[in-house]
A and B are shown apart, each in its own frame.
Chain A
Amino acid sequence: MKLLIAGGRIIDPGQGIDKVADLLIQDGRVSAIGSGLSTSDAEIFEARGLIISPGFIDLHVHLREPGEEYKETIRSGAAAAVAGGFTSICAMPNTDPVNDNASVTRFIVDKAREAALARVYPIGAITRGSAGVELAEMAEMKEAGAVAVSDDGRPVMNSQVMRHAMEYARDHGLVVVDHCQDLDLAAGGAMHEGRYSTLLGLKGMNGAAEETQVARDIMLAGVTGARVHIAHISTAGSVELVRRAKQEGMSVTCEVTPHHLALTDAAVEGFDTNTKMSPPLRSEEDRAALIEGVRDGTIDAIATDHAPHHMDEKMLEYDHAPFGVVGLETALGVVLTTLYHSGLVELSRIVEMLTARPARAFSLPGGNLSVGSDADVTIFDPSLEWTVDPRQFKSKSRNTPFAGWPLRGAVVATFVAGRAVLRQ
């Protein structure tokens, strides 16, 4: 079986490729990149004017299964992923039960295989029940398919436990992912602490609540030699801490979400609970620093922190509504509109942050179109205009801050191992 994706602009930053060419896929693998490739027995996908990218990789999603299937399932989450051009997604462990042992990990892997849409890589818990006390069975989870460990959402506050987690994870080749938040400093907060929290009378979370933990993790990475990944970095101070750590050659990586790149705490005016997430939308100065971190390469990956919640749960008082927004199906449009069409960031940099660099951060397969590799491919139109209509989402949930936004840039087709899992 042959498929020729013809005449598109292939952007594959992992291999340093950015040129108009054909991509030949054979038996699910990348067979060749070049011009005028033989087409006699191949199905043709006409891609003139489109971007051909390695399949996008999202290091940070919440699939809610097992336990909260009314919000999302592994299948619906994977469908949302491929609709957004993501061929690989990493699922956070804060399900019910928590993914803190190999049987839950295997369940996720099996469900994802049945869905046969995006590849789903489980992230195991750092501590049992994500309670922050005893280490979870990391090695067994790794054997079952876990690629990293995290207590995302319930960050490990005890620094000694975190140090042991890093040492142990290092032994087993697992990346430690931290949602950096000092739970005491941020206690009760519903939004970023600043001018707007003062104006709206909502309890704020100071940027220092994130930065103190980023600093701690960097120091512990130095002590332990572990690979540390800072989840959804959101403040200027955090960007600067990671920048300096990288300059010192430490193995620290980080990600940023599309919503932190596109929105600020000003969006909370109006009390729409779809602007409530953790970390919160920050100040304009923080947003500018995040964009600078994208431009200079300090930030490795764009990750959605896709966090589905049912409408009934979000339609509450602002301070009682749960944190989190969905993001898989708007990520590309939001990032291209905010960073690329505004002239702030090159297209190849954005593709790199969706492909090669997240792959490298977690040592995942894919992220490039090297000959012989599985043909995970995302084809998108960088200029296609569309309006976000949450009713059209493949995700079970609708909690997006971008409803009604006009965006430029949309996914046209998604291939996993050469198989079309989405074709618009």
Chain B
Amino acid sequence: MKVAFNRKDLLSIRELAAEEILTILDTVESFKQISTRDIKKVPTLRGKTVINLFFEASTRTRTSFEIAAKRMSADSINISASNSSVSKGETLIDTARNLEAMAPDAIVIRHPSAGVPQQLSGMVGASIINAGDGAHEHPTQALLDAYTIRERKGSLDGLQVAIIGDISHSRVARSNTHLLTKLGCHVRIAGPRTLIPPDYEKLAGDSEGSLTVCDHIDDAISGSDVVMMLRIQRERMNEAFFPSIKEYSIQYGLTLKRLALAAPDCIVLHPGPVNRGVEISSEVVDSSRSLILDQVANGVAVRMAILFLLVERNVA
């Protein structure tokens, strides 16, 4: 049977044990088929309130959470704030108290500053779900990636996974590194050295899997079962991280030729939105190797499972 999952919040993958991650992935299974029905709605969270609080632009993740809440019959409210609380002169404690006054059951938060979900979690009674905080973590993205890989490969244990691109600014890379190594994957990192943070290889700690930072992208991709590409922000060019988009795409972009170095049944993931022709070529995006749209579809089921596990934790 499933291991109990009894947490108030989902703040990071790092805090989860491998068993808890597997429990979440197993729970996703039962929610995935709801989205394939004619009537895509179950009454599980009827009468519950979910606030989507986004301090950073997001279409995909916010929509995914919103659809997930609606398919569970929860009432979901979107609050978008283009700027952080600091520019409005509101402290975190005021943000927290105002939210608490609306008596939500869960708050989904995305914020450009690392740590905000954790800071808020101690101040409010509602479940906090981290939908991405700065360059810290994006746990539901890692969970949907893991679910997508497991769906295709059966198990994560022992898989070779390459994560390529701007690791420094990527919460997706961090959450995936934690999750994949906890579940026994051998993770290889590559990208310009300017965009790989110091001591990255220590992130894995004493987990089941392994973590290696490669000097060259081809070393990371060779023999991989999964290649995960990260979005490169054009603005990084202006901060002297790399010389040009052209050089980046030649040196670090995923092409069919480069993908040929990977295992024959290698799959390709990307958290989106994709820069076609920059970090990944159109041929790869549109190939049968690419599971980018499966990731999006699975994202809804993963978020349904998370809402269920957190909000119904005392009932389940």
State the A residues within 8 Å of B (CB): 193-195, 197-204, 206, 270-271, 312, 315-320
Contacts of B133 in A (CB 8 A): 201
Q: Does the CB pair B84–A317 fall under 8 Å?
A: yes
Q: Does the CB pair B137–A201 fall under 8 Å?
A: yes
B112 → chain A closest CB, angstroms: 8
| Cβ contacts A to B, 25 pairs, < 8 Å | A194-B198, A197-B198, A198-B197, A199-B14, A200-B114, A200-B136, A201-B133, A201-B135, A201-B136, A202-B134, A203-B135, A204-B198, A271-B114, A271-B116, A315-B92, A315-B93, A316-B86, A317-B84, A317-B86, A317-B92, A317-B115, A318-B113, A319-B113, A319-B114, A320-B113
Q: Does B186 contact A (CB under 8 A)?
A: no
Contacts of A319 in B (CB 8 A): 113-114, 134
Contacts of A198 in B (CB 8 A): 197-200, 202-203
Assembly CA distance A269 to B272 (angstroms): 29
State the B residues within 8 Å of A (CB): 14, 84-86, 91-93, 111, 113-116, 118-119, 133-137, 171, 174, 197-200, 202-203
In order of increasing CB-CB distance, the 3 nearest A-B pairs are A271-B115, A201-B136, A201-B135
Q: Which of B84, B115, B119 has the most CB of A within 10 A?
A: B115
Assembly CA distance A89 to B111 (angstroms): 41
Contacts of A195 in B (CB 8 A): 198-199, 202
Secondary structure at chain B's binding surface: helix, strand, loop or mixed? Answer: mixed
B214 → chain A closest CB, angstroms: 17
| Other-chain contact of A201, B85, B86, B174, B202 (Cβ < 8 Å) | B174
Assembly CA distance A330 to B197 (angstroms): 34
Contacts of A320 in B (CB 8 A): 84, 86, 113
Contacts of A316 in B (CB 8 A): 85-86, 91-92
Contacts of A194 in B (CB 8 A): 198-199
Contacts of A202 in B (CB 8 A): 114-115, 134-136
Contacts of A200 in B (CB 8 A): 114-115, 136
Assembly CA distance A197 to B200 (angstroms): 10
Contacts of B115 in A (CB 8 A): 200, 202, 271, 317-318
Assembly CA distance A204 to B115 (angstroms): 15
Known A193-B198, A195-B202, A317-B86; contact A312-B91, beta-carbon cutoff 8 A: yes
Contacts of B197 in A (CB 8 A): 197-198, 204
A155 → chain B closest CB, angstroms: 22
Assembly CA distance A206 to B86 (angstroms): 26
| Other-chain contact of A199, B111, B113, B203 (Cβ < 8 Å) | B203
Contacts of A197 in B (CB 8 A): 197-198
Assembly CA distance A270 to B84 (angstroms): 20
A261 → chain B closest CB, angstroms: 23
| Other-chain contact of B171, A193, A201, A203 (Cβ < 8 Å) | A201
A312 → chain B closest CB, angstroms: 5
Q: Which of B114, B174, B202 has the most CB of A within 10 A?
A: B114
B297 → chain A closest CB, angstroms: 27
Chain B residue nearest in CB terms to A196: B199
A201 → chain B closest CB, angstroms: 3
